[in-house]
Amino acid sequence: MTSRPRSRAVNRLRDSASLYLRQHADNPVAWWPWCDEAIAAARESSRPILLSVGYSACHWCHVMAHESFEDPDTAAVMNELFVNIKVDREERPDLDRLYQLSHQMLTGQGGGWPLTLFLAADSLAPFFAGTYFPPEPRHGMPPFTEVLRRARAWHDSKPDDVASIGQRLDAGLQAMQTQREPEDGVDDAALITAAAGHVTQRANREHGGFGGAPKFPQAPQLAMLPRLARLAGRPELAEFQHFTLDTMARGGLRDPLDGGFYRYCVDHDWTIPHFEKMLYDNAQLLPLYADAARRGDDDWLKTCAEGIVSWLRDDMSDDTGSFAASIDADADGEEGGFHTWTPAAARAELDDAQWRVAETVFGLDGPANFEGRAWHLTRRGGPEGDGPELDAAIKRLRRARARRVAPATDHKRLASWNALAAAGLARAAVSLGRTDWLDRADRAFAFIQEQMWDGETLHAVHANGAAYNAGTLDDYAFTLDAGLALLEGRWSDERLVFCQWLADTLLLRFFDNDGGGFWLTDERVDVPMQRLKVTQDDATPSAAAIATRALQLLGWLTAVPRYLAAADLALRAARPDILKYALGHASFVTALADAMAPPAIVSVTDDGTAAAAAMVVTARRHDAVHCFTRPGPGPSRASVCIGNHCLPPVSTAAELEEQLQNRD
C-alpha cells in the first residue's frame, strides 16, 4: 500500500439539499456525494471507494457518525485510503437497493443502515460489505480503522480477486433478473392457498403481526389479508388483520400523544419502539385502520386513523399541502428522551382527575419499561379510561413534551412517499366519509404534479425549492396509484389524463417487453452494475406490484387492452417469486387475487340527487369494489362491470345492492 502525505480534507456535503448529507458536512472526512466527479477522482487516484449509505432519522447512522466519522484520527485513515462517498438512501433508493442486495450476496445476511461498502473504482462493484462498525472491538466485530486498513490492503494485494468478486456479483445480479418459467402444475388457486398457509405459519397469535423481535408493522402483508380472506374463504385472516391493528395501536408502536406510528418495535410484543417516525409507514397504515374501522364498525380503530391524519397535519405538513419524509429517533443526542416520561414528570402536568386516568391507562402505575429508568406510554387494555379526562391529559402532556428539545424533521419531499400519503388519505376518506381528508390528499397530489413533474419526467425529490433526481419505478407507480385512489373519491377528467400519462410512461420506460415485469430504474438513467427488477415487498410495497394493480384498475376503468395485457405479463413474471415466498410478495398476491376475481367497477352518474348519493353509499359498503362518481345530467344511474363483463345499468340503491350481493 502506498502511503500518501495527509492533506486538508475537503468535505463537499455542505451545500447538499439532503439533510442526511448536511448532517455530515462538518465531519473531518473528505466526503463526496454520489457523482461522476467522485467516481473519476477514485479512478484517477487508483483508490477504492468507501460508500456509506444511510438516512437522517437512522439511530445507528448517528452512532457511527459520532464514533467514527467525527473522529479526526479515523477520518484521516479514511481520507488517506479511500474516496469517501455518502448517499442518502431516501434520495437514491436505486443505489440503496442495488448495494443492499450486493451486501446480502457477499455476506449471506440482510443489510440495513448504516450500510458500509468498499467498491472497486473501475466497476463500482463492492468487494467487501458490512453495516455498522464500532470504533473498537465489540461483540466480535473488529474496529472500523482495522476494517479500513485490511480492506485497502486486500484491494491492493489481490486485484484479481477483487475483479473476480465483482464479476461474480454482476453475474449473480444478472441471473436474478432473468425470466423464470412458472412451475408446471401450479395454478393460481394453489398460489393463493400457499399464501394463506404462509400467513398461518408466520402469524403471531398472541401479539399480532408476523414473527418475533424486532417487530415491524409490515403494512403490505396486512393489506393483503382481507382480499386473501375473501378469495381463499378464510375469514380468520381478516380477523387477524383486525387483531394486529388493534394490538399495535395499544402497544408502544403508536404515539398516544400525537397519533403517529413509529417505524418498528425492538421487542416481540410491541412495547418499546425505535423512535423514528416515517411518512411511508403512517401513509400505509392510515387506510388499513380506516377500512378496518368501517368493516368492523370499530370506534377505536377509527380513532387511530384520525390520529394518523392529525399527525400528518400537525407534524409533517406545511402550507404546500405536501409532507416531510421523517422525524428522527434521537433528540439532543439521546434516543427516546423526547418521548419517554417518569410518573413524577407526568403527574406535574395533570390535575387530580386527569392523573387518575392517565396513570392507569398509560402504565405509569407499573414498573419502568424503557431501559429500567423511564416509561414509554402505551395503551394496554380496552377502552377503559376513554373520556374527557384522558383527552385533556393527552393534550396537556403533548404541550409539555413540546417544550423539550424535539427530534429533527427531514423536510425533503419524496414523490413516492407523498404519493403513498395521498393514496392513503384518499382511501381513508372514502372508507370513513371524510371529505376534509380528501382535500388533503388532493393538495399532496397536486404538489407532486405541479412541483415534481416537468411534463417529461417525474422527479423523486423536492428540497430547497427545487425538484431533482429522476424518478424510479416507486415514484411513477405510487403516483399512478394515488391518482386512481383520488379519482374514486373525486372525479377529474384532467387527473385521468395525468394517470394515463403515468401509465404510458411506465410501459415505455420501465416495462420489460421481453421478460415481463418492471425495471426499478428509468431506461434513460445510467446505473452501476445491473438494472434491477424488485418484486418483493419491503417497508413499502413492491412498486412492480403496485404498477401491476394500477394498470389492472386503469384497464378495467378505461377499457384499454394494453394496460391489462402488461399487468398480465407482470403477474406471469412474478409467479415463481410468489410461489417461493408468498408472504414476502404480499402486494403481488393481492394483484393476483384481483386478476382471479376482479373487483367490481361501479360507475355512478351523479346528477346531485339523493338517489345518486344513496348508490354511492351502497357501493362503498362492499369490499372488493371501486366506485367512481362522474357528474352528469339525470337521471342518475349506476353501472357495474366485473373484468370484461358489465351488468345492466340500475337507477336505485336497492337494485345496485342486489347486483353487488349476487356478483359472485
For the chain, 664 residues long, the average pLDDT of each consecutive 10-residue run is 56 95 97 97 97 94 96 97 98 96 94 96 96 92 96 97 95 83 72 92 95 95 96 95 97 97 96 96 98 96 97 97 96 90 98 95 95 93 79 97 96 98 98 97 98 97 96 98 98 97 98 94 94 95 98 97 97 92 95 96 95 96 95 91 95 96 84
DSSP state of 261: B
- Say yes or no: 548 and 622 in one domain: no
pLDDT value at residue 604: 97
State the CATH number of the domain containing residue 222: 1.50.10.10
Domain boundary among 145, 177, 209: 177
* Residues of the domain holding 246: 188-329+410-596
- Say yes or no: 70 and 165 in one domain: yes
Element (H, E) at 284: helix 279-296
- Can you give the three-state secondary structure of 45-64, one letter per residue? HCCCEEEEEECCCCHHHHHH
- Say yes or no: 222 and 125 in one domain: no
Cβ contacts of 226 within 8 Å, gap of 6 or more:
237, 238, 241, 291, 295, 623
Structural domain contains residue 357: yes
Q: In the beta sheet, which residues pair with residue 278?
A: 326
pLDDT value at residue 4: 46
pLDDT value at residue 1: 43
Cβ contacts of 323 within 8 Å, gap of 6 or more:
279, 283, 312, 316, 317, 413, 417, 418, 421, 444
Q: Give the burial string for 53-76 (b: 16+ CB within 10 Å, else e).
A: bbbbbbbbbbebbebbbebeebbb
Structural domain contains residue 334: no
pLDDT value at residue 334: 86
- Say yes or no: 219 and 158 in one domain: no
Amino acid code (one letter) for 80: E
- Say yes or no: 387 and 416 in one domain: no
Q: Give the burial string for 523-538 (b: 16+ CB within 10 Å, else e).
A: eebeebbbbbbbbbbb
pLDDT value at residue 180: 66
Structural domain contains residue 477: yes
How far, CA to CA in Å, does 298 sit from each of 243, 246, 406, 613? 12, 10, 33, 24
- Say yes or no: 617 and 522 in one domain: no
- Say yes or no: 303 and 231 in one domain: yes
* Distance, CA of 67 to CA of 144 (rounded, Å): 10
Cβ contacts of 34 within 8 Å, gap of 6 or more:
85, 87, 92, 95
If one counts the domains in the chain, the total is 4
- Say yes or no: 321 and 206 in one domain: yes
**pTM score:** 0.95
Does residue 625 sit in helix, strand or coil? strand
Structural domain contains residue 13: no
Gyration radius (Cα) of the chain, Å:
26
Domain boundary among 360, 388, 403: 403
Domain boundary among 566, 596, 626: 596
Structural domain contains residue 67: yes
- Say yes or no: 522 and 492 in one domain: yes
- Say yes or no: 461 and 384 in one domain: no
- Say yes or no: 588 and 612 in one domain: no
Structural domain contains residue 4: no
- Say yes or no: 74 and 93 in one domain: yes
Structural domain contains residue 434: yes
pLDDT value at residue 6: 47
Distance spanning both ends of the chain, measured CA to CA: 72
Most distant CA pair in the chain, distance: 85
Structural domain contains residue 10: no
Closest CA to 648 of 661, 657, 659: 659
